[in-house]
Amino acid sequence: MHFLQDIWWYLVLIGVMILIHELGHYWVARFFDIKVETFSFGFGPRLFGFKRGETDFRFSAILFGGYVRMAGEQPGDESAADPRSFLSKPRWQRMCVVFAGPAINIVLAVVLLAGLFMVEFPKVPNPHDPIVGYVLPDSPAAKAGIHEGDQVVQIDDQQDPTWDDVQIKEGFSARRPVQVWVRRDGERMHFTVTPDYDERQNIGIAGWSPEVQVQVKSYMSEMDVAQKAGLQPGDIFVSVDGQPIRSTYKLREIFDQTKGKAVDVVFLRNGKQEQVSLTPVYQKAEGEFDKDQKPMMRWMIGVYLEQHLEIVKLPFFQAVNESVKQNARGAKLIVSFLEGIVQRRMSPKTLEGPIRIAQLSGDAARRGPSSFIGELMVPVSLNLAIFNLLPIPILDGGALLLLFVEMLMQRDLDLKVRENVIKVGLVFLMMVVVFVIYNDLSKILPPG
């Protein structure tokens, strides 16, 4: 059942992305009075469609993208001499047509996220000054001397980073030393952290996590320790036996250390601090397995935990401003990731292909509309825009580069040169497609 849902929501996702992207090309082409012959969902043979005016709107056999074909788009086309053909227009107009596709994807990402911020949308609190909430024992952060409660004030040459900045630097710095300055008890301290390489996620891991507020999500049906003690969903943990709770990892670690002894729990309810005493129970941890794939046993109190979320509801202009900021951070992350691959600091195995995107589509849709839009459609639209702007022949960025070169030369490139460049781009793109599909299969199929 989930498989069919994944396929359906994947088709919805790429359908919207293709429609919006190609509409950008189509609308600007029509604005400059360029004749559009074909508007296609997919590539290859035409399956079905309809003709409106001079344009054939069609669905084609290979649903991995789409295209808008304009009259005289390539040198040698029969209609190249037509005054309404693509090549008959000034190069600046052609550049506008090419850039319109990625541009409208960026606009879509901003509009969707702004719309979410104008309604109730759960947002992870992300303080400007990141505080370390947990340090994994024997991790690179622990070995460097980082402590829980440390406030990160500088990482390498970046002053006053957010935790997003910290995670970006961590992920792109596997086996490379990172200079970290923290404020501890009012004193500025310097450490060198060298993240390990995580072979499962193909990124750098330092073994730290941000300070978050941990709250009770719901009760476990098989035990009622917390419920009998008076804890309720929405209660926020403050401390356990005097130890401040800054992450779910720390809370579970404390319970594991009790070995069944009673603990004093301080929590917040409706802004008021309260306290209870309860005794953890040793039981199987749902969904957790050891290295031999046997269910793990843990000391638990009978509740599911979650990170406390803020409900954001902003007026129009603030929503747009916040959306632009978040999309700018997302674009920076994507560009940094691509730079990391080129510089061999990141593994290309982190790329997701159509199979994984289909799985992510289904998962996000099952969590609700806000997850599907905010966690999937927005980043996919932004990724599509940036990927299309790469200076690779056959992509929009490659076409923009060729037009820019022609503007500098003040003449058209030789037809054979253009054809060879496009062939190279097509081969490269097919290699990327094959790689990401193989990469997807290697992640979901059991090792042979």
Q: Do 111 and 164 belong together in one domain?
A: no
> 390 and 296, same structural domain?
no
pLDDT computed for residue 313 by the predictor? 83
The yes-or-no verdict on residue 448 having pLDDT over 60 is no
Q: Tell me, yes or no, whether 47 and 150 share the same domain.
A: no
One domain for residues 20 and 112: yes
| Of 290, 308, 326, the domain-final residue | 308
Sign of CA dihedral 149, 150, 153, 155: negative
Q: Is residue 227 part of a domain?
A: yes
Of the pLDDT bands very low, low, confident and very high (cuts 50, 70, 90), residue 1 is: low
Percent of the chain with pLDDT over 70: 93
pLDDT exceeding 90 applies to what percent of the chain? 33
pLDDT digits (tens, 9 = 90+) for 317-343: 999 998 999 899 888 888 888 887 777
Q: How many domains does the chain have?
A: 3
Is residue 139 within 8 Å of 132, Cβ to Cβ? no
Report, as an integer, the average pLDDT of 59-74: 80
Residue-level pLDDT at 400: 93
**Domain harbouring 193, CATH code:** 2.30.42.10
pLDDT at 80: 65
Confidence label for 300 from pLDDT (cuts 50, 70 and 90): confident
Residues 17 and 105 reside in one and the same domain:
yes
Q: What is the pLDDT of residue 76?
A: 62
Is 342 inside any structural domain?
Answer: no
Check if the beta carbon of residue 113 is closer than 8 Å to that of residue 105: no
In this structure, the answer to whether residues 101 and 6 fall within a common structural domain is yes
> Which of 129-133, 242-246, 249-253, 422-426 is the least confident region?
422-426
Highest mean pLDDT among 99-113, 219-233, 349-363: 99-113
Considering the domain boundaries, does residue 316 fall inside one? no
List the single range of 9-13, 131-135, 147-151, 380-384 with lowest mean pLDDT: 9-13
Give me the mean pLDDT over the 184-205 stretch.
Answer: 88
Kindly indicate the confidence band of residue 53, based on its pLDDT and cuts at 50, 70 and 90: confident
- Residues 137 and 195 grouped into a single domain: yes
Domain presence at residue 319: no
- pLDDT classification of 152: cutoffs 50, 70, 90: very high
252 has a pLDDT exceeding 80: yes
- Which pLDDT does position 93 carry in this prediction? 94
Q: Is residue 126 predicted with pLDDT exceeding 60? A: no
The DSSP element (H or E) to which 363 belongs, if any, is helix 354-367
**Domain presence at residue 337:** no
Of 175, 210, 245, the residue that ends a domain is 210
**What is the spatial distance between Cα 306 and Cα 218, in angstroms, rounded to a whole number?**
9
**What is residue 139's predicted lDDT score, i.e. its pLDDT?**
93
pLDDT at 178 > cutoff 80 = yes
Contact 237, 247 (CB under 8 A): no
Average pLDDT in the chain: 85
Q: What is the pLDDT of residue 179?
A: 95
* 348 in a structural domain: no
132, burial (CB in 10 Å: exposed 0-12, middle 13-18, buried 19+):
buried
Question: Is the residue at 360 inside a domain?
Answer: no
The torsion angle over the Cα atoms of residues 134, 139, 145 and 151, rounded to 10 degrees, is -30
pLDDT band of residue 125 (cuts 50, 70, 90) is: low
Higher pLDDT, 228 or 421: 228
User: Which pLDDT belongs to residue 190?
Assistant: 95
The alpha-carbon radius of gyration of the chain (Å, integer) is: 27
What is the predicted pLDDT for the residue at 433?
79
- The predicted pLDDT at position 292 comes to 64
Q: For residues 196 and 176, what is the distance between their CA atoms, to the nearest angstrom?
A: 9
Q: What is the pLDDT of residue 290?
A: 64
356 part of a folded domain: no
What's the pLDDT at 172? Answer: 84
Tens digits of residue pLDDT in 398-431: 889 988 988 888 887 777 777 788 788 788 878 8
pTM of the model: 0.77
Q: Are residues 55 and 31 in the same domain?
A: yes
Domain boundary among 308, 323, 348: 308
Confidence class for position 107, pLDDT limits 50, 70, 90: very high
253-296: pLDDT as tens digits: 888 888 888 999 999 998 899 999 988 988 877 766 666 667 77
Backbone phi, then psi, for 347, in 5-degree steps? -90, 135
- Look at residue 180 and tell me whether its pLDDT is greater than 90: yes
Q: Is the pLDDT of residue 131 over 80?
A: yes
**Residues 111 and 143 placed together within one structural domain of the fold:** no
Same domain for 193 and 246, yes or no, is: no
Buried b (16+ CB within 10 A) or exposed e, 250-285: bbbebbeebeeeebebbbbeeeeeeeeebebbebee
Lowest mean pLDDT among 49-53, 168-172, 428-432: 428-432
* 206 lies in the same domain as 220: no
Burial class (CB in 10 A: 0-12, 13-18, 19+), 384: buried
- CB count, 10 Å around CB of 1? 6
Residue 254 sits in the same domain as residue 203: no
Query: What is the domain range of residue 391?
Result: 2-118+373-444
